[in-house]
Structure formats: structure tokens, C-alpha cells
């Protein structure tokens, strides 16, 4: 989709544009989850509405919204279906990278994003993380390179037009873009998690795939040095948690309002009038509010870090610390809320047709990304010893200040 905006739309205008889209997506969320139906139709709706180009400048056909506005909409999307923000997570990061590039190539990709092009990822692989190199290799070949290797957790790739791939080139971590339908690319829907089942986070195999020279992007994710990418990617997960908390609240409110049956030892004839049930609803709503505000607070800092299509490196430590703080707080709030919601009812609230268990399963799955215990330790090490936050690189590369 392309637009002819002359100014950045307001939150109210964005809500009016995307609210009906979220409603259509939410209508089928439980059925998709129950039947493991990949979200191709919802992704198509989002592309058509211009959601995947929210951060693209107006001159290239996007909406040019702020980081805060973008994450506000991402929370709303997550409330409709929490799989979708995660599935598009690397796409949104790719858009930010092209904004910062301020190059002819970057601008061309921004125009492509405005036209509906979606980027997936194939970064993670067995045995390679902050320690150890990639087994996926990129080797020079006539007219470009050849790519060989196997990736897992290829989130969003089954929905994508192009795949951002991390590989080893002569001992260096690099990134390339591969057409999703290139010969030698095999995409497998084998993600086996009990939550976030429709993020298309499966295996991708590359067998002698030709990569044109102009698809080489340079240093890959995990290269040493401060980056906005870790806080940005983490914030997408936290937006998912905030959206889950909001949907869990809405679903529980609707369930209680419709109930006419209560218990002999209840404090009221209707559950909606029971002060204990009202307390649970109040806590659910508070968790959703607090998680959302935490996400938006970090988004405000990222707005500073990315202002003017320029990376302001002096802001990165603040953004990284804020995202870590928000992660620890939001996870505790949302996991408790998605467990406590079942206190409002008896056995009927666990009816599989309601699908209320998906909220905890999805939240629990999002919460294990970049384990919070490691983030809490890193914050403590920073405050006690002045050790740099890890970002995405090997812990052994960090330094400790001397007093």
C-alpha cells in the first residue's frame, strides 16, 4: 500500500485506520490458534492497510509515525493476535536499519516496504549464540555469493518476501538478504512451542543459494558494540506481552459480564457484583495499563536514539537499560495476570472453546526470549560494578569500569 500523507497521522487517526483491521484479525484468533492455521490472511490485511510501513517516511509511501506511535499500535495489534508483532519483528527492525542507512539502496527498500514487501529472518542456529560462530557459510561466487546452512527460530519467514540471513564469511559475522522463493531455500513450519504457535518460527535450510552481490548487507547481528537493535527487538516482545494483558482483561470482563451462575459461598448473586471478582478484574486491568506504559516509556527513549534518521549513540545505554527494566517488570505482571484471570470462575472458565489458556501460554513463551534472570543480573552488575550491558555480543567482550 502507498499513501500520499502530507503530515504524520495522529494516534486518533491511526486508531480509526487500524482499529477495524485489528477487529477482523481478533475475530479469527482463537480458531487459528486451535487449528494451527498460519496467519497469512491477517498479514495480508496488515500489508494492505499500510501497517508494515508505519515507520516508512511519507515521501516513500509510508505513514512516518514516531517510535512511540508505532509501539502503541503494535500493542493494539498484539491484543488482537500476539503472534503477529513477533512474526513481523525483524521486518520492523529492517525498516529501522534502512531509515538509518540514508542511502539509495536503503531508500529503495523503504519504498518496497511501503508497497507491502515483508522481511523475515534466519539468524539463529543450533550451537551459535553470543559464544561460537555461525555454521551457515557465505562464500564468494561468480556474481555474488553462495549460501549454505540450516537455521531455526526463523520467525516470520513463512510470511516473508525476503529473508535476512546471518552467516559466516571468512570468520566474520555478516548478513545478506535472500529471496524467500530462491532455488535452494526450504522453509519448514516445525516450531513446536506451546505458545506463539503461529509466528512461523520454524527451520530454514539454505542449499547452495545464490546471493547477488548487492544483497550483501555487511556486519551481522551480534557484532561487538552498542546497538539500538537489542532494545528495539526486546520492546517488540514486550509490546506483545502488553497486548496479551489487554486481551486477557477484555476476554475476562466479557466472560464475567455474561455469567448468570455463581457459587453458594459467593459474596453476590452475580459474579459481576462480587467484590472479589471485581478485584481480580481491577488487577488485570492494572497489569495491562502498567505493561503498556512501560513499553511506551522505552519507546520514548528510542525516539531520541533514532531521531532524524540518525543513530544517537549516546542514548543507547539508556535505551538498553530501560528495555531491561521494562522486561523484568512486565513479565512478572503479565504472567501473574494471565494466571489469576481463572480465579473469576469455576470449571467452565477452562473450556477449551474459550481459549483463555492461550494468554498464559503465549505470554510464557514470549517471556523466555532473552531470559529475564540474565537481564536482572546484568542490571545488577552494571549498578554494582559498572559493567557494560551486554547488548547482543559475547559477554567476554564487555568491560568493567574501574573506580
Domain boundary among 171, 197, 219: 219
Closest CA to 368 of 393, 343, 331: 331
| Higher pLDDT among residues 129 and 26, named by residue | 26
Cβ(75)–Cβ(68) under 8 Å? no
What mean pLDDT do residues 76-101 have? 97
Q: Are residues 241 and 307 in the same domain?
A: yes
pLDDT at 99: 97
CA trace torsion 299, 236, 87, 20 (10° rounding):
-60
> Which residue(s) pair with 43 in the sheet?
none
Q: Are residues 340 and 362 in the same domain?
A: yes
Q: Residue 105 and residue 107: Cα distance in Å, rounded?
A: 5
The upper half-sphere exposure of residue 108, i.e. CA atoms within 13 Å in the direction of its Cβ, equals 5
For residue 192, give the CATH number of its domain.
Answer: 2.40.110.10
**DSSP type of residue 341:** G
What DSSP assignment string belongs to 158-208?
GG-SEEEEEEEETTEEEEEEEETT-TTEEEE-----SSSTTS--EEEEEEE
Phi-psi region of 46 (alpha: psi -120 to 50; beta: other; left: phi over 0): alpha
Q: Residue 236 and residue 191: Cα distance in Å, rounded?
A: 19
Number of domains the chain is built from: 3
Cβ(236)–Cβ(289) under 8 Å? no
For residue 58, give the CATH number of its domain.
Answer: 1.10.540.10
pLDDT at 395: 46
pLDDT band at 3 (very low <50, low <70, confident <90, very high): very low
Domain boundary among 64, 83, 117: 117
User: pLDDT tens, 259-268?
Assistant: 887 776 767 7
Outline where DSSP puts E strands in 94-161. 119-122, 137-141, 144-154
User: pLDDT tens, 258-308?
Assistant: 988 777 676 777 788 899 999 999 999 999 999 999 999 999 999 999 999
For residue 282, give the CATH number of its domain.
Answer: 1.20.140.10
Give domain status of residue 59, yes or no. yes
pLDDT at 400: 55
Give domain status of residue 401, yes or no. no
pLDDT band at 2 (very low <50, low <70, confident <90, very high): very low
User: pLDDT tens, 302-330?
Assistant: 999 999 999 999 999 999 999 999 999 99
Q: Residue 257 and residue 259: Cα distance in Å, rounded?
A: 6
What mean pLDDT do residues 149-155 have? 95
CA 137 vs. chain centroid, Å, equals 27
CA trace torsion 52, 364, 396, 125 (10° rounding):
-60
In this model, does residue 5 exceed pLDDT 60? Answer: no
Q: Are residues 306 and 328 in the same domain?
A: yes
Q: Are residues 341 and 375 in the same domain?
A: yes
What mean pLDDT do residues 94-116 have? 96
pLDDT at 401: 52
Query: What proportion of the chain, given as a percentage, has pLDDT over 90?
Result: 83
SS3 241: helix
What mean pLDDT do residues 175-184 have? 96
Q: Are residues 137 and 161 in the same domain?
A: yes
In this model, does residue 229 exceed pLDDT 90? Answer: yes
Mean pLDDT of the residues in the chain: 92
User: Which residues are CB-neighbours of 264 under 8 A, at least 6 positions away?
Assistant: none
Domain housing 297:
228-385
Amino acid at each position: 500500500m502507498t499513501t500520499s500523507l502530507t503530515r504524520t497521522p495522529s494516534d486518533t487517526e491511526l486508531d480509526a485506520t487500524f482499529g477495524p483491521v485489528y477487529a477482523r484479525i481478533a475475530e479469527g484468533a482463537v480458531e487459528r490458534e486451535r487449528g494451527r492455521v498460519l496467519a497469512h490472511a491477517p498479514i495480508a490485511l496488515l500489508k494492505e492497510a499500510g501497517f508494515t510501513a508505519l515507520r516508512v517516511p511519507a515521501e516513500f509511501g509510508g505513514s512516518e509515525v514516531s517510535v512511540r506511535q508505532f509501539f502503541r499500535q503494535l500493542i493494539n495489534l498484539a491484543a488482537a493476535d500476539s503472534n503477529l508483532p513477533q512474526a513481523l519483528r525483524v521486518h520492523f527492525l529492517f525498516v529501522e536499519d534502512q531509515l538509518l542507512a540514508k542511502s539509495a539502496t536503503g531508500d529503495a527498500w523503504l519504498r518496497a516496504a511501503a508497497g507491502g514487501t515483508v522481511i523475515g529472518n534466519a539468524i539463529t542456529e543450533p550451537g551459535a549464540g553470543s559464544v561460537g560462530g555461525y555454521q551457515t557459510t557465505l562464500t564468494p561466487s561468480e556474481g555474488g555469493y553462495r549460501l549454505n546452512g540450516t537455521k531455526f527460530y526463523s520467525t516470520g519467514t513463512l510470511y516473508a518476501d525476503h529473508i535476512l540471513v546471518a552467516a559466516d564469511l571468512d570468520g566474520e559475522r555478516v548478513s545478506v538478504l535472500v529471496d524467500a522463493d530462491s532455488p535452494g531455500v526450504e522453509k519448514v513450519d516445525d516450531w513446536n512451542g506451546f505458545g506463539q504457535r503461529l509466528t512461523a518460527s520454524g527451520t530454514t535450510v539454505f542449499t547452495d543459494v545464490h546471493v547477488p552481490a548487492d544483497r550483501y548487507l555487511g556486519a551481522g547481528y551480534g557484532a561487538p558494540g552498542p546497538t539500538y537493535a537489542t532494545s528495539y527487538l526486546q520492546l517488540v516482545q514486550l509490546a506483545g506481552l502488553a497486548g496479551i494483558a489487554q486481551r486477557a482483561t477484555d476476554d475476562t470482563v466479557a466472560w464475567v459480564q455474561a455469567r448468570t451462575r455463581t457459587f453458594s459461598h459467593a459474596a453476590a448473586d452475580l459474579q459481576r457484583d462480587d467484590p472479589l471478582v471485581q478485584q481480580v478484574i481491577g488487577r488485570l486491568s492494572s497489569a495491562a495499563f502498567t505493561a503498556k506504559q512501560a513499553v511506551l516509556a522505552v519507546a520514548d527513549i528510542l525516539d531520541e536514539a533514532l531521531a532524524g534518521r540518525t543513530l544517537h549513540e549516546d542514548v543507547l545505554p539508556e535505551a538498553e537499560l530501560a528495555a531491561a527494566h521494562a522486561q523484568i517488570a512486565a513479565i512478572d505482571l503479565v504472567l501473574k495476570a494471565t494466571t489469576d484471570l481463572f480465579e473469576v470462575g469455576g470449571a467452565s472458565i477452562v473450556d477449551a472453546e474459550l481459549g483463555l489458556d492461550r494468554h498464559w501460554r503465549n505470554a510464557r513463551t514470549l517471556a523466555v526470549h532473552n531470559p529475564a534472570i540474565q537481564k536482572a543480573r546484568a542490571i545488577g552488575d552494571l549498578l554494582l560494578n559498572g559493567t557494560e550491558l551486554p547488548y547482543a555480543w559475547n559477554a567476554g567482550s564487555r568491560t568493567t569500569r574501574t573506580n
